[in-house]
Amino acid sequence: MKVARNSPCPCGSQVKAKRCCLAEPHRRVTTPRATLARLQSDVVGDLVGIDRDRLYSLYEEMIHLPELDMSLHMRLPGLRTPEVIRAADAISAGDGEHFDRALRDARAAVDTIERRLQLAQAVMAMRESGRVSRPLAASAIIDLNQPGSALATSALAQAIAVAAGDERTPAGLLVAS
């Protein structure tokens, strides 16, 4: 199938094809959305031939990735929003139900394509170093292309839990109390 130059790029970047995947590499649009869409196009082949049960297990593994490496935590210093503070307070109080509500609100307040791209780049670095399998990285990249990504939510929850002193860092340090 031929893609018209002025049509939206089939990679999902929401950019015209002539400025995205059809462009010469040095002329490609490098928006975070386009970059994340290209990453997805690059890794989707790693899931070919995987059955439904394996996809479910990859999803389960994926949401636990932030427990493995700090690079898969959302960076909180710039995210001290009222919603994040409420979530941290709920953890400190041991109120799981309030934490879940506050986490949903916090995710809505801080979930951006730029933050999801940072997480995707961290996943790709872990894949390249051999710490994450190719299918697991592919499932994570595909998930990160979606608003409300489960991995982004997990990355935020883990970062809040570590900052509140409820969880240890992947290296085993207790950051706060």
Domain ranges (residues) in the chain: 46-163
Torsion of CA 3, 149, 136, 8, to 10 degrees: 0
pLDDT of residue 176: 58
Collapse the DSSP code of 8 into the 3-class scheme (helix H, G, I; strand E, B; otherwise coil) and give the result.
strand
Collapse the DSSP code of 116 into the 3-class scheme (helix H, G, I; strand E, B; otherwise coil) and give the result.
helix
What is the pTM (predicted TM-score) of this model? Answer: 0.81
Per-residue pLDDT reduced to its tens digit, 11-42: 777 778 787 777 777 666 678 888 898 899 99
How far is C-alpha 39 from the geometric centre of its chain's CA atoms? Answer: 12
From 56-70, 92-106, 117-131, the region with the lowest mean pLDDT = 92-106
* pLDDT above 70 as % of the chain: 94
pLDDT of residue 141: 97
pLDDT over 80 at 1, yes or no:
no
Question: Distance (Å, rounded) from C-alpha 68 to C-alpha 163?
Answer: 16
Count of positions (residues) in the chain: 177
Q: What is the 8-class DSSP label of residue 16?
A: B
The end-to-end CA distance of the chain, in Å, is 58
How far is C-alpha 50 from the geometric centre of its chain's CA atoms? Answer: 21
